[in-house]
């Protein structure tokens, strides 16, 4: 059964509702081809040629259907034709056929339903890519959160160590302030300080912060 929406264009099969050209099974070609995406203008060009088939459509009508009231140069249509031929690999100009002084026609076949490449396959690939992208993004977010958590943990441990260190020195300083001074302390004229501890005289060297007890 013929499918009027799916057509064979040389080495490719095209569903007119999409922008994608699939490798054609009806072309008889054995070499492999990648899926190709048409531009909006290429899609509009092919659609107007398919609608006009088997007639030849003149240049003015092609321009009207593809560009509408958009202002274009005289080279816009020939350039679009050439780009589309390259996309279709129409090197022999047997798909997009120019009728001199008239316009263009399209040489194609309608695809059989069972042999046509289906757009859901493309959508499945796109969906698979989307899932892969989501998974990759999720993995990257997890790595980022783990890095941030590790950084915060290090900062917290550093602050905790500084706080504990400060508390220790504070306690030591307060202990010195609360200490009872030695009752028997003598200051000589030369600056020597003599301290009696348990009936022993000790000399405190102030410049060295040293207490010497013979």
Count the domains in the chain: 3
pLDDT 10s per residue in the chain (214 long)?
566 789 999 999 999 999 999 987 655 554 556 789 999 999 999 999 999 999 999 999 999 999 998 889 999 999 999 999 999 999 999 999 999 989 999 999 988 765 434 445 555 566 666 676 777 778 888 888 999 999 999 999 999 889 988 888 888 777 766 766 666 777 777 767 787 876 777 887 777 667 777 7
Residue 204: give the domain boundaries: 181-214
pLDDT for 106: 95
Same structural domain, 107 and 130: no
Domain termination residue (choose one: 117, 144, 171)? 117
Asked if 128 and 55 sit in the same domain, the reply is: no
- The CATH number assigned to the domain holding 59 equals 1.10.10.10
Q: Are residues 161 and 186 in the same domain?
A: no
Residues 87 and 152 in one domain: no
The answer on 158 and 123 residing in a single domain is: yes
Looking at the structure, tell me whether residues 70 and 58 fall in a common domain.
yes
49 and 81 fall within a common domain? yes
Residues 127, 101 share a domain: no
Instruction: Name the residue among 46, 41, 68 with its Cα closest to residue 57.
Output: 46
Domain-ending residue, one of 85, 102, 117: 117
Q: Are residues 169 and 189 in the same domain?
A: no
Of the residues 97, 117, 137, the one at which a domain ends: 117
């Amino acid at each position: 059964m013929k499918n009027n929406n799916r057509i064979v264009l040389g080495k490719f099969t095209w569903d007119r509702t999409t922008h994608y050209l699939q490798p054609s099974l009806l072309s008889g070609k054995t070499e492999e081809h990648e899926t190709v995406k048409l531009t909006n203008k290429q899609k509009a060009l092919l659609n107007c040629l398919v609608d006009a088939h088997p007639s030849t459509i003149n240049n003015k009508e092609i321009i009207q259907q593809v560009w509408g009231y958009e202002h274009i140069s005289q080279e816009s249509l020939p350039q679009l034709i050439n780009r589309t031929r390259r996309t279709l690999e129409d090197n022999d100009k047997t798909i997009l056929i120019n009728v001199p002084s008239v316009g263009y026609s399209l040489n194609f076949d309608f695809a059989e339903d069972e042999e046509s490449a289906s757009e859901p396959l493309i959508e499945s690939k796109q969906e698979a890519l989307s899932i892969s992208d989501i998974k990759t993004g999720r993995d990257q977010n997890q790595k980022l959160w783990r890095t941030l958590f590790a950084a915060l943990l290090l900062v917290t441990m550093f602050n905790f160590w500084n706080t504990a260190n400060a508390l220790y020195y504070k306690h030591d300083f307060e202990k010195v302030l609360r200490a009872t001074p030695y009752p028997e302390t003598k200051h000589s004229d030369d600056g020597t300080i003599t301290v009696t501890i348990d009936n022993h005289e000790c000399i405190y060297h102030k410049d060295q912060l040293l207490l010497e007890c013979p």
